[in-house]
């Protein structure tokens, strides 16, 4: 029972927080649940593709190997499928009618992925792994979702030059995800120390982005 709680609790807490931060018009529960489900289902192609491309880095060593695994195997593939899920689900959906909605749906997709990933890690590593991930990996996926959704929100309500923001919605989560994993995988003391300020920056950046879209999210106000 403790394993179930430590695995699911951070997902539920973050999901409720994001839901209630959406001040103007709550999103349909059915679409939010679908977003969670989509985030969980993309684990299947992510695991498959990661398995297929990981051997491409076998000839690399040291930081080159770590960079490949962090940025390509993990960040590019995971954020790429999250991006596709968000785009397919909500880009043309009538419920995407506020800038903040991009954040809501991107975070829910990210949480769906984080839930399945969390189950796999906690079942293997036990309750200590679950507690550690509750304060690190799970919130990180949500923070990456905030970044992705922030730029989706900007792009959705632009009348022109949407492609640059749609690219940012993919590039920035990949960049920060890659750095997050690189610092951990490097097992280098300096990089491990940099991992902490990176998390702090991402938290602060996410709250600024949520505040901005919360204050300026309705299409008619733009």
Pick 5 or 170 by higher pLDDT. 170
pLDDT surpasses 50 at 50 = yes
pLDDT for res 25 = 85
Residues above pLDDT 70, as percent of the chain? 97
Handedness of CA 60, 50, 184, 200 (dihedral sign): positive
d(CA 188, CA 63): 10
Q: What is the pLDDT of residue 72?
A: 96
Every domain of the chain and the residues it spans: 2-221
Which H or E run includes 185? helix 162-185
Mean pLDDT, range 48-69, rounded to an integer: 94
Cβ atoms within 10 A of the Cβ of 93, count?
15
The whole-number average pLDDT for the span 30-52 is: 97
Nearest-angstrom CA–CA distance, 191 and 219:
42
| 28: its two tokens | 């349909």
What does the alpha-carbon distance between residue 126 and residue 11 come to, in Å, rounded to a whole number? 17
How does residue 74 score in pLDDT terms, banded at 50, 70 and 90? very high
- Total count of residues recorded for the chain: 222
pLDDT at 220 over 70: no
pLDDT tens string 207-217: 999 999 987 75
Token look-up 């103007």 returns: 24
Quote the longest CA-to-CA distance of the chain: 54
Mean residue pLDDT of the chain comes to: 92
Q: Which residue, chain included where needed, has tokens 């790429």?
A: 80
- DSSP letter, residue 102: H
What is the average pLDDT across 35-59? 96
Name the residue among 68, 73, 102, 69 with its Cα closest to residue 85: 102
| Separation CA 41–CA 116 (nearest Å) | 9
More confident residue, 218 or 66: 66
pLDDT for the residue 30: 96
For residues 148 and 87, the answer to whether their CB atoms sit within 8 Å is no
Answer yes or no: are the C-beta atoms of 182 and 70 closer than 8 Å.
yes
Tens digit of each residue's pLDDT (9 = 90 or more) over 161-192:
889 999 999 999 999 999 999 999 998 898 99
Residue 222's pLDDT band, with cuts at 50, 70 and 90, is: very low
pTM for the structure as a whole: 0.93
DSSP tag of 60: -
pLDDT at 221 over 80: no
Contact 49, 72 (CB under 8 A): no
pLDDT given at position 23: 81
Please give the pLDDT value at position 100.
95
3-state DSSP assignment of residue 98: strand
* pLDDT in the model for residue 217: 54
Nearest to 178 by CA among 76, 71, 83: 71
pLDDT tens for each residue of 88-142: 999 999 999 999 999 999 999 999 999 999 999 998 888 899 899 999 999 999 9
Classify 16 as helix, strand or coil.
helix
């Amino acid at each position: 029972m403790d394993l179930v709680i430590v695995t699911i609790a951070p997902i539920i807490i973050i999901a409720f927080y994001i839901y209630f931060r959406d001040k103007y018009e709550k999103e349909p529960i059915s679409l939010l649940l679908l977003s969670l489900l989509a985030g969980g289902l993309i684990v299947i192609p992510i695991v498959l593709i990661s398995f297929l491309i990981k051997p491409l880095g076998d000839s690399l060593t040291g930081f080159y190997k770590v960079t490949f695994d962090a940025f390509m195997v993990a960040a590019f593939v995971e954020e790429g499928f999250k991006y596709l899920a968000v785009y397919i689900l909500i880009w043309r959906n009538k419920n995407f009618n506020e800038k903040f909605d991009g954040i809501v749906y991107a975070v829910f997709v990210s949480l769906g992925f984080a839930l399945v990933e969390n189950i796999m890690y906690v079942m293997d590593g036990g309750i200590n792994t679950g507690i550690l991930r509750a304060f690190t990996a799970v919130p990180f996926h949500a923070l990456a979702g905030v970044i992705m959704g922030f730029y989706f929100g900007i792009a959705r309500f632009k009348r022109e030059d949407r492609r640059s923001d749609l690219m940012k919605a993919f590039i920035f989560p990949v960049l920060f995800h890659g750095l997050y994993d690189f610092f951990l995988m490097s097992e280098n003391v300096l990089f491990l120390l940099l991992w902490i300020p990176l998390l702090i920056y991402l938290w602060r950046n996410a709250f600024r982005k949520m505040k901005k879209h919360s204050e300026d999210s309705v299409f008619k106000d733009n």
